Amino acid sequence: MKIDPAKSYLRAGATYGKHYQDYLAASAWFFLVSILPIVICLLTPLTLILTLPLFYAAVFFVLELYVMAKKDNLKVGFNGVKTYYFRYFSPFFKRIYRVWVGCGKAVGFAAAISFIIGLTYGLIANYLNPEFAQAMNELYSSYLLMDMQIFLALTRENVHVLSLLRVVQFVAVSVFTLVFAAHLLRHSLNVFVRAHYAPPYPYQQANEVFLFAYKGHKREINRLFFRLDILLILVHLLSFGLFFFISAYFNFDILYSLALSLALSSLIFSFALPFYLCLIESISKPFDYYAKQSVITLTLRAIKQQEIISNGPTPETEATKEELKALEETLKRQEENKDAEEK
């Protein structure tokens, strides 16, 4: 079964249109509960260690289950939202978004790209603007002389130093936000896999099924999200960048500018999330097919390893392989019939 982007977009649009009032309310809720941690993270970056797994991923999980429930015309009240939140921390959904992997990727990309952009900006400004070069020399000299009073004064008051810091921080925050959001959205497909395969399997095996299915069809899935990703990046850069550099023009404090700019970008992103999740839900059936194929493939691999350990096949392993091959053929026929019916 292949993922048809056009049909997926249409199904997602129909689902969103049918429940748009509920989804708009959910978007507003997501935005409001996200504001305070954004400010706290910018003022005290170390709180990111707690807010990512304990708050943002859990709140995103609640929103995803809410979208799924509304699609099935289920009523979800305050108690339902509370249940969804605490369910995120249960063994049933352990490591479902692989938050720290996504955070590591986002930090790596943000550090590398902000360094390259900052270095490029600094070299060009240093060549074109003598005042910028002088400010950088003063900053470097104060650092070598360990004169922290002058060093801190330059980072807070010098226009040229501030311009470099703003560019680096703008790039770093933008890249981190977009990479982490993309990681979270891709791994939201894991909810469907975990719901199907977590009861009989430990979370490690269920997670392995998801990763195997996702990596095997990564290009196809990423192609589906590509256009929306481009739109999201443009919206983020326009909203976040516009407000960030306007605040810089009025000489706002850097942290204050970042907090307000990120809040504005989060407002727009919050209202885009339900459509993303509707799109993800629309491809859950094809992805479920990929996951079933992955279960068969991974089980066959485990049998081969068992045969190597036991120095050859056994009647039990041969019987299991025959059953899996028959199941795979049945699965293919069923999906071919579904594809024919849809056409």
For residue 28, report the phi and psi dihedrals to the nearest 5 degrees.
-60, -40
Across 148-168, average pLDDT:
79
Number of C-beta neighbours around residue 277 at 10 A: 26
> What SS3 class is residue 312?
coil
Is residue 311 exposed (0-12), middle (13-18) or buried (19+ Cβ within 10 Å)?
exposed
Angstrom CA distances, 116 to 139, 215, 241, 247, 278, stand at 20, 29, 18, 24, 36
> What is the separation, in whole angstroms, between the first and last Cα of the chain?
12
Count CB-CB contacts under 10 A for residue 340.
8
Q: What is the model's pLDDT at position 172?
A: 85
Of residues 338 and 80, the one with the higher pLDDT is 80
Q: Give the angle 192-10-197 at the CA atoms, nearest 5°.
A: 10
Question: Which of 162-166, 295-299, 311-315, 331-335 has the least mean pLDDT?
Answer: 331-335
116: pLDDT strictly greater than 90: yes
User: Which residues have a Cβ under 8 Å from the Cβ of 178 and sit 6 or more positions away?
Assistant: 232, 233, 236
> How many percent of the chain have pLDDT more than 70?
71
Q: How confident is the model at residue 108 (pLDDT cuts 50, 70, 90)?
A: very high
In this predicted structure, what is the pLDDT of residue 318?
67
What is the signed CA dihedral for 275, 276, 282, 285, rounded to 10 degrees?
-160
pLDDT tens for residues 272-327? 888 888 877 777 766 777 777 777 777 777 777 666 666 666 666 666 667 667 66
Residue-wise DSSP of 248-266: HHTT--HHHHHHHHHHHHH
**Residue 261 predicted with pLDDT over 80:** no
* Phi/psi of residue 247, nearest 5 degrees: -65, -30
Q: Is pLDDT larger for residue 175 or for residue 330?
A: 175
- Has residue 247 got a pLDDT over 90? no
Output the pLDDT for position 52.
67
* Phi, psi angle pair for 312, to nearest 5°: 130, 165
Rounded Cα gap, residues 227 and 223, in angstroms = 8
Residue with tokens 């190597």: 308
Express each pLDDT in 10-63 by its tens digit: 888 888 888 888 888 888 888 888 777 766 766 666 666 667 667 888 888 888
In whole angstroms, what is the distance from residue 199 CA to residue 221 CA? 26
pLDDT for the residue 72: 73
**Looking at the predicted structure, is the pLDDT value of residue 130 above 80?**
yes
Averaged confidence pLDDT in the chain: 76
Q: What is the pLDDT of residues 194-205, one digit of tens each?
A: 766 555 555 666
pLDDT value at position 309? 65
Instruction: Name, of 123-127, 138-142, 232-236, the range with top average pLDDT.
Output: 123-127
Distance of alpha carbon 93 from alpha carbon 292, whole angstroms: 19
pLDDT of residue 311: 67
Q: Is the pLDDT of residue 259 over 90?
A: no
